[in-house]
Amino acid sequence: MRAVVFDGKQVEVVDDLEIRDPGPGEVLVGIRAAGLCHSDISVTDGTIPFPVPVVLGHEGAGVVEAVGAGVTHVAPGDHVALSTLAGCGACAECDRGRPTMCRKAIGMPGQPFSRGGNPLYQFASNSAFSERTLVKAVQAIKIPSEIPFPSAALMGCGVVTGVGAVLNRARVALGDTVVVIGTGGIGLNVIQGARIAGASRIVAVDTNPAKEDSARLFGATEFLTSTDGVRDVLPTGADHVFECVGRTSLIRTAIDLLDRHGQAILLGMTAPTDEATFLPAAMFLDKSILGCRYGSSRPQRDIPLYAELYRQGRLLLDELVTETYPVEDFAKAAADAEQGRVARGVLTF
């Protein structure tokens, strides 16, 4: 079967990948569409260290082909979106409703794939850039069949990360003010999350002026090409500033743009050794810096909610898909993503 494989030096689209049958508590999914997220590119450029060879992809949707013993909530033929959280369901964090903190959902990559008799790692417990993938039952979330696969795929990462950061982590309240730095796939979902939460002002900031139309479509009330103008819009600062780029200088900027009792939420992925600086004295007005993994989400709860909001016309999914590519065009899709030409590019099988 076809898949996108990174061997530590180069990315290759192969056609001879093999996958084992599902075991107890596992689901075999035929992938129909998979979003290309910057986290995938971060593996190939070394920003995210990961063992190789690895099958890339972590934002997918498809059709259940087979289930292992004990799986009852999905069956062959069901449409599913895939989560990256392979939580155990039994630890204290899972019991508290915080599966993003489950230690068994972080690291410990499996090797369900093989090629030429050699095992390959699975990225983010998912590997959606493959015609078929194998996930834990908890990662397969049943979705309505009327949601197009390219749109459904994005719920598995970009949507739960961006919208979830607003609703679950920052808990933006009705009337709050929000600044979003970076309006790529994650930033656009932060913007629409803030709109759904009822924020009164949503200031989108991106150096690319061509992104204004999409930012406003998703809910931005203002669009700026520099953070320098934020104080003209919000003189006392913002209640929430989301950094969605992953640049350490912008972390300092996000903190500087906060109002009293404001919070900076860090979503952009930096290199593991990057350091950021800020003025500690500025924090004594009850300001906070919040990390956020995967939108602090509970996918089995959140993804069905987002599917319903999509059905109601309140959550935009189709509009996130800028371009679709056959999996063989991965190189073009990656180049478009790196150049900022797409909000989200989606590979199809």
d(C-alpha 236, C-alpha 82), whole Å: 41
Is residue 32 within 8 Å of residue 347, measured between CB atoms?
no
pLDDT computed for residue 269 by the predictor: 87
The pTM of the full predicted model, rounded to 2 decimals, is: 0.94
Q: Using one digit for the tens of pLDDT, what is the confidence trace for 31-47?
A: 999 999 888 998 998 88
Task: Name residues whose C-beta falls within 8 Å of residue 321's C-beta, 6 or more positions apart in sequence.
Answer: 150, 151, 154, 343, 344, 346
The pLDDT assigned to 67 comes to 98
Low-confidence residues in the chain, pLDDT < 50: none
Q: What tokens appear for 154 in the block?
A: 């994005």
Q: Which of 303, 34, 319 is nearest to 150 (CA)?
A: 34
| Per-residue pLDDT reduced to its tens digit, 265-314 | 999 988 889 999 999 998 999 999 999 999 999 999 999 999 999 999 99
d(CA 111, CA 194): 38
Q: What is the pLDDT of residue 107?
A: 65
